[in-house]
Amino acid sequence: MNGVTVIKHPLVQHKLTIMRCKETSTGSFRRLLREISTLLCYEVTRDLELTMKTIETPLETIESPVLEGKKLVFASILRAGNGLLEGMLDLVPSARVSHVGVYRDHETLKPVEYYFKAPEDIAERLVIVVDPMLATGNSSIAAVDKLKERGAKNLRFLCLLAAPEGIENFRAAHPDVPVYTASIDSHLNEKGYIVPGLGDAGDRMYGTK
């Protein structure tokens, strides 16, 4: 699918299978999410530009590659996005973090925004928007709308699972934002859950219902 990358790394697929199992405990789910998010972060950043920097090793002076440009922004769609954030920050500890509070009204399935924080100079940074589930796409579209309003120009969207309907809606609204996911599942059910999915990611991660 155009603009969509499915991350097929065997470790990602193995961990995802365990996360999907309904018997997997809250603690294991959280640990796996943190581990898998590190691997997803590795894939979503694999083509970042490098620039050469002069450094001194204990033996000699060399030109050595470092990431070009300003530090990344990880934009977490609350609350489940925070589950992906932790592992990504393990890998890129200097990243800036934006929080976008959008919840899904369970009746209308439409996003309701309640919180927004982002770095001032977001226009100059690559923004990786994270939410484990791309379901209807409504929350993700609203979050990216908001980040673009604030000036973000260079964005990527990273999730764990995506529904075909969500990808279609998201790509129609934001064709300039590539999507990275570990799986494209079958469909959305009438309640807006991804099938076969893994249930409610926030509830599974925090042990709520």
Residues that bind ligand URA (CB under 6 A): 80, 133, 135, 192-194, 197, 200-202
Taking the least distance from each CB to ligand URA, the nearer of 119 and 137 is 137
State yes or no: cis peptide before 10, omega within 30 of 0.
no
Shortest reach from residue 139's CB to ligand URA, in Å: 8
Active site residue 57: no
Q: Which of 108, 121, 176, 208 is catalytic?
A: 108
Structure tokens at 135: 């379901």
Active site residue 45: no
Shortest reach from residue 31's CB to ligand URA, in Å: 18
190-193's contacts with Cβ under 8 Å and 24+ in sequence apart are 191/106, 192/104, 192/109, 192/135, 192/136, 193/135
Taking the least distance from each CB to ligand URA, the nearer of 33 and 88 is 33
Active site residue 203: yes
Query: Whole-angstrom Cα distance, residue 109 to residue 76?
Result: 19
Shortest reach from residue 168's CB to ligand URA, in Å: 15
Query: Whole-angstrom Cα distance, residue 104 to residue 30?
Result: 22
Q: Which residues contact 42 (CB under 8 A, 6 or more apart)?
A: 91
State how far the alpha carbon of 127 is from the alpha carbons of 115, 123, 131, 208, in Å: 18, 9, 13, 29
Q: Which of 105, 121, 176, 203 is catalytic?
A: 203
139 annotated among ligand-binding-site residues: yes
Active site residue 200: yes
Q: Which of 24, 38, 156, 200 is catalytic?
A: 200
Q: Which residues are the active-site residues?
A: 104, 108, 200, 203
Residues contributing to the annotated binding site for uracil: 194, 199-201
Residues contributing to the annotated binding site: 79, 104, 131-139, 194, 199-201
